[in-house]
Amino acid sequence: MSEKIYAAPAEFVTRANVSGMENYRALWQQAADRPEEFWGELAEKELDWFEKFSHVFEWDPPFAKWFAGGKINVSHNCLDRHLTTARKNKVAILWEGEPGDQRMISYQELHRLVCRFANVLKSLGLQTGDRAIVYMPMIPELPVAMLACARLGVTFSVVFGGFSAEALQARIQDLGAKVVITADGGWRRAKEVRLKPAVDEALSDCPTVQHVVVVKRTGSEIAMQPGRDLWWHDLDTNVSDDCPAVPLDSEHPLFVLYTSGTTGKPKGILHTTAGYLLGNHMTMKWVFDIKEEDTYWCSADIGWVTGHSYIVFGPLSVGTTTVMYEGSPDTPAYDRWWRMIEKYRINVLYTSPTAIRALIRQGDKWPESHDLSSLRLLGSVGEPINPAAWEWYHRVIGKGRCPIVDTWWQTETGCIMIAPMPGAVPQKPGSATLPMPGVIPDIIDLEGQPVGDDREGFLIIRRPWPSISRTLWGDPKRYAEQYWQRAPGVYFTGDAARRDSDGYYWVLGRVDDVMNVSGHRLSTMEVESALVRHPAVAEAAVVGKPHEITGQAVCAFVTLKQGDWNHEELGRELRQWVAEKIGAFARPEEIRFSDGLPKTRSGKIMRRLLREIVTSHTVTGDVTTLEDMNVVTKLAAQHDED
Ligand code: 7RM
């Protein structure tokens, strides 16, 4: 691991929402010592309530309740409360479509759009407690639909637009949705991603669905089933701009987000109202250090939790300008993002290691041909970021001026758990650093005992925090088993991690991303990290392959930067390289070059599939979260040729 420590420049620290380590420590300690007072005060001060809560926290393990007795509405907190301030005509959503169209929607205008669409939902018979599925491209109507549901207390589930009809159907059925909100299609890589045909296919067996509302985005030919399917723009012609937000219980179900678990059945992670909102609101201020004048961009897709929390609810709750981009970073060319940062003078950029590595692969000439001087803070999420990518991000994008917040969290945690407050906590590349106030992590072994500093183990969190997922939709038993029983009474994250002597957390990946070579525990990430430091390597994924002698052998899948490489020579060089960087025991037995790696739609490398390829030479497990099946087919076929 890198030994370098990066502190924020003095001018950043002076203006930061939290400045200096002492202030961070004081906040954290206060939350640890008196959690109810800490969260109770913040909830009252930072959120707008219709009725104050009577209890801050109730705990019937493993089921938590926060701010019971309170009445509140997320849509009101994201919109209405800004309308009496100077923010009313501030841009709330700054949207750019892939073809280059753009929309700048003020808080006032967004409020109007949300009220109108909430009235549309009402006219279709939706009421508090009903459920809606949202299956849309990255267009402004997507957050409008989410906020309209939240306004009425209609529990929604956003299904990422890249999911198939089959995956969509399973989610509609599990949620028992009354309405599906969709579009004809969206734009990605200059091609149409068609959505409505998948909805039609999914609805062949979804008796609960009464209506489908369709946004016209691409204008392509689609089928509309009379009576069932309705155009958004038709419904929008005859509704009022006025729709009061419904005062909802603090624990009212806000949304369900499905993630794939280890079994075939998707897990519906449930988030409720007040605690979820407070977690997002606070971390926007603490981690992204949001200032009134900021233009903030999270490049995730809203179909992923990062998009829910950090494109929609967190940013709008604090009243910032949130940028939203429909398409892919390479369309029309690899400088699309840098072009947007220059054009809109974006100040904060939040993206993923996988995106960073893909951009590194294209060379520095793309970012270097744009003025990125508006940037003041960078963020990373989704995977451990390897120090080489961190350093590139810091140097080439941040010009050495911008702190990087490496944010560790999960769909289940609702908001950022471990990350630096950038004006307070110096960064070490590859470490998510220190926990947020109210978060008490630890690292334990198989027996549940803390392992102490510098030792690997399971990352757990000792106490519930406001934005923790409340249950799995329709399956409280599975919730208890998966998260609270592996180590009794504490939240089990499923990640491996270690803590160094400064208390910094180094998340190593999912628990099973660990190899055992000749008795040496070796994280796949450590080897990957070494590989991507080699100038020829763009990305690497490492898995353990069964080996008669060493138990497991290291097998590395590698994609290369542009160039003319001799694979045989380079393979030898890379094996030697890893042996030098880590030790001879880590030397990969095999290096396989490929054009791509199997990834989830949110960009996480699916090592599980690679493990299957190297052990059984086929893939039989759940592949519904895979972004591009071709990558796997090619990798499996490549083996047959060997
Ligand atoms: C936000 C999100 C959660 C899993 C988590 C980790 C991994 C996410 C980081 C990270 C190291 C990070 N939600 N992960 N962020 N690992 N450093 N900064 O990604 O539910 O989709 O995934 O992602 O393994 O458990 S998620």
Q: Which of 410, 431, 514 to mutate to test the pocket of ligand 1 (most atoms within 8 A of CB)?
A: 410
Contact 311, 300 (CB under 8 A): yes
Query: Distance, CA 382 to ligand 1 centroid (Å)?
Result: 4
Closest residue by Cα to residue 200 from 215, 186, 212, 188 = 212
Report the pLDDT averaged over residues 607-622: 81
pLDDT value at 619 more than 80:
no
Between 496 and 180, where is the model more confident?
180
In this predicted structure, what is the pLDDT of residue 606? 86
pLDDT value at 521 more than 70:
no
Query: Distance, CA 493 to ligand 1 centroid (Å)?
Result: 10
Ligand 1: does its nearest atom lie under 6 Å from the Cβ of 602? yes
Query: Distance, CA 10 to ligand 1 centroid (Å)?
Result: 30
Q: Which of 428, 482, 604 to mutate to test the pocket of ligand 1 (most atoms within 8 A of CB)?
A: 604
Report the pLDDT averaged over residues 560-568: 91
In this predicted structure, what is the pLDDT of residue 642? 41
CA distance 238 to 505: 54
CA distance 422 to 9: 10
Ligand 1: does its nearest atom lie under 6 Å from the Cβ of 408? yes
pLDDT band at 484 (very low <50, low <70, confident <90, very high): very high
Ligand 1: does its nearest atom lie under 6 Å from the Cβ of 389? no
pLDDT value at 574 more than 60:
yes
In angstroms, how far apart are the furthest CA atoms of the chain?
A: 73
Query: Distance, CA 450 to ligand 1 centroid (Å)?
Result: 22
Measured from the CA of 602, which atom of ligand 1 is nearest? Answer: 21
Query: Is 339 in a helix, a strand, or coil?
Result: helix
Q: Give the start-end residues of each E strand in 414-490.
A: 441-444, 457-461, 471-472
pLDDT band at 389 (very low <50, low <70, confident <90, very high): very high
Q: Peptide bond before 476: cis, by omega within 30 degrees of 0?
A: no
Average pLDDT of the chain, as a whole number: 93
Ligand 1: does its nearest atom lie under 6 Å from the Cβ of 409? yes
In this predicted structure, what is the pLDDT of residue 297? 98
CA distance 409 to 454: 21
Six token digits for residue 20: 């200096």
Region of residue 548 (phi > 0: left; psi between -120 and 50: alpha; otherwise: beta): alpha
Nearest CA to ligand 1 atom 15: 382
pLDDT band at 477 (very low <50, low <70, confident <90, very high): very high
CA distance 70 to 289: 28
pLDDT value at 341 more than 90:
yes
Contact 53, 71 (CB under 8 A): no
Residue-wise burial string across 215-248, b where 16 or more C-beta atoms lie within 10 A, e elsewhere: bebbeeebeeeeeebbebeebbeebeeebebbeb
Ligand 1: does its nearest atom lie under 6 Å from the Cβ of 382? yes
Query: Distance, CA 306 to ligand 1 centroid (Å)?
Result: 10
Ligand 1: does its nearest atom lie under 6 Å from the Cβ of 23? no
Query: Distance, CA 332 to ligand 1 centroid (Å)?
Result: 30
CA distance 543 to 549: 17
Ligand 1: does its nearest atom lie under 6 Å from the Cβ of 603? no
Ligand 1: does its nearest atom lie under 6 Å from the Cβ of 407? yes
What is 477-518 written as a DSSP string? HHHHHHHHTTTTTSEEEEEEEEE-TT--EEEEEETT-EEEET
| Predicted structure pTM score | 0.87
Q: Which of 240-244, 353-357, 377-381 has the lowest mean pLDDT?
A: 353-357
In this predicted structure, what is the pLDDT of residue 519? 67
pLDDT band at 515 (very low <50, low <70, confident <90, very high): confident
Ligand 1: does its nearest atom lie under 6 Å from the Cβ of 435? no
Report the pLDDT averaged over residues 64-92: 98
pLDDT tens-place string over residues 94-141 = 999 999 999 999 999 999 999 999 999 999 999 999 999 999 999 999
Query: Distance, CA 469 to ligand 1 centroid (Å)?
Result: 15
In this predicted structure, what is the pLDDT of residue 509? 78
Measured from the CA of 412, which atom of ligand 1 is nearest? Answer: 20
Nearest CA to ligand 1 atom 23: 382
Closest residue by Cα to residue 352 from 404, 295, 411 = 404
Measured from the CA of 407, which atom of ligand 1 is nearest? Answer: 18
CA distance 615 to 545: 6
Ligand 1: does its nearest atom lie under 6 Å from the Cβ of 261? no
Place of tokens 């919109």: 79
In this predicted structure, what is the pLDDT of residue 639? 55
Contact 402, 367 (CB under 8 A): no
Closest residue by Cα to residue 308 from 432, 485, 431, 469 = 469
Nearest CA to ligand 1 atom 19: 382
CA distance 570 to 19: 47
Radius of gyration of the chain (CA): 24
pLDDT band at 628 (very low <50, low <70, confident <90, very high): confident
In this predicted structure, what is the pLDDT of residue 637? 75
CATH class of 518-641: alpha beta
pLDDT value at 261 more than 70:
no
**Residue ranges of the domains in the chain?**
48-328, 518-641
Report the pLDDT averaged over residues 318-329: 97
CA distance 462 to 47: 26
Q: Which amino acid is at 528?
A: E
pLDDT value at 249 more than 50:
yes
CA distance 199 to 205: 11
- Sequence-distant (≥ 6) Cβ neighbours of residue 14 within 8 angstroms: none
Going by DSSP bridges, is the β-strand pair 404-407/131-135 parallel, antiparallel, or unpaired? Answer: unpaired
In this predicted structure, what is the pLDDT of residue 270? 98
Ligand 1: does its nearest atom lie under 6 Å from the Cβ of 305? yes
CA distance 233 to 248: 29
Contact 135, 365 (CB under 8 A): no
Query: Distance, CA 624 to ligand 1 centroid (Å)?
Result: 19
Angle ∠(580,458,381) on CA atoms, nearest 5 = 75
Ligand 1: does its nearest atom lie under 6 Å from the Cβ of 120? no
Ligand 1: does its nearest atom lie under 6 Å from the Cβ of 431? no
Ligand 1: does its nearest atom lie under 6 Å from the Cβ of 326? no
pLDDT tens-place string over residues 101-110 = 999 999 999 9
Q: Which amino acid is at 249?
A: D
pLDDT band at 302 (very low <50, low <70, confident <90, very high): very high
CA distance 462 to 230: 48
Q: C-alpha dihedral over 521, 523, 524, 529, to 10 degrees?
A: -130
Q: C-alpha dihedral over 487, 491, 493, 496, to 10 degrees?
A: -50
Angle ∠(222,225,230) on CA atoms, nearest 5 = 85
Query: Distance, CA 406 to ligand 1 centroid (Å)?
Result: 10
Query: Is 250 in a helix, a strand, or coil?
Result: coil
pLDDT value at 641 more than 50:
no
Report the pLDDT averaged over residues 46-72: 97
pLDDT value at 262 more than 60:
no
Q: Which of 280, 305, 381, 608 to mutate to test the pocket of ligand 1 (most atoms within 8 A of CB)?
A: 381
In this predicted structure, what is the pLDDT of residue 265? 67
Question: Do 518-641 and 48-328 fall under one CATH topology?
Answer: no
CA distances from 270 to 63, 101, 158, 413, 468 (A): 12, 35, 12, 10, 9
Hey, which CATH number is domain 48-328, 3.40.50.150, 3.90.550.10, 3.90.650.10, 3.40.50.12780?
A: 3.40.50.12780
Contact 193, 186 (CB under 8 A): yes
529 phi/psi in degrees, rounded to 5: -60, -40
CA distance 440 to 287: 17
CA distances from 432 to 114, 298, 406, 408 (A): 36, 18, 5, 6
pLDDT band at 640 (very low <50, low <70, confident <90, very high): very low
pLDDT band at 603 (very low <50, low <70, confident <90, very high): confident
Percent of the chain with pLDDT over 70: 96
